Chains A and B, each alone.
Chain A
Amino acid sequence: DIQMTQSPSSLSASVGDRVTITCRAGQSISSYLNWYQQKPGKAPKLLIYAASSLQSGVPSRFSGSGSGTDFTLTISSLQPEDLATYSCQQSYSTPYTFGQGTKLEIK
């Protein structure tokens, strides 16, 4: 199985801040990397697919980058509604695996 490791596990930031979350794969996964947002008590929502493609309807303040083993999710200007847990997921090979999640809190 390909292990996905996110950092940090949690972070606190202020409205308007630029926020970066990192995801590292245990082996090269090219750009087979997706990002999800999960608000408390809700199902995950797809934000970014194929490492850098923005899902339809997702605000442009979200962006993804990376290839190989290292990936980042960036929120360019944090909004109050971005309070959530963010998870990465590899689709390079089955079993598909997720990172442990990064809990984002608003100061």
Chain B
Amino acid sequence: QLQLQESGPGLVKPSETLSLTCTVSGGSISSSSYYWGWIRQPPGKGLEWIGSIYYSGSTYYNPSLKSRVTISVDTSKNQFSLKLSSVTAADTAVYYCASVGSYCSGGSCKYYFDYWGQGTLVTVSS
């Protein structure tokens, strides 16, 4: 069973870059069975998908954040990372990493976030 763990600073200053890493255990990040994603949740609010990355390096970003987001994979460390630049207070949230599983039938695949990290609170404040 996959296990994911987020790590990174809990406090980031406005205009700086938020950097988080997700370490995957119990499976290989290079597996073609999965791809990987970041989701965030501002305090007291709903979930927001940030973006996803395939083991091959192909990325998909939320257009609302695309100009500021970079997601990358480090297969040697079995990790994937999130960088969000030019942060403001609106980026304060619990950030989750997750694996993206798939159910394929009839030539199409349906995706879902099946394993999640515990989440890490990132506060943007001077």
Judge: A and B partners, yes or no.
yes
Where the two chains meet, the residues of A that have a C-beta atom closer than 8 Å to any C-beta of B are 1, 31-32, 34, 36, 42-46, 49-50, 53, 55, 87, 89, 91, 94-101
CA distance A36 to B49 in the complex (A): 14
CA distance A37 to B77 in the complex (A): 30
A44-B47, A95-B62 given. 5 additional CB < 8 A pairs? Answer: A43-B118, A43-B119, A89-B112, A91-B110, A97-B49
Chain B residues, CB < 8 A from A1: 63
Our pick among A46, A55, A96, A100 for the contact of B49 (Cβ within 8 Å) is A96
Q: How many A-B residue pairs have CB under 8 A?
A: 58
Q: Can you show 8 pairs from A to B with CB atoms below 8 A apart?
A: A32-B110, A43-B116, A55-B114, A94-B60, A95-B64, A98-B49, A99-B46, A101-B46
Our pick among B46, B63, B113, B118 for the contact of A46 (Cβ within 8 Å) is B113
Chain A residues, CB < 8 A from B118: 42-43
In the complex, what residue of chain B is closest to A44 when comparing beta carbons?
A: B116
In the complex, what residue of chain B is closest to A57 when comparing beta carbons?
A: B1
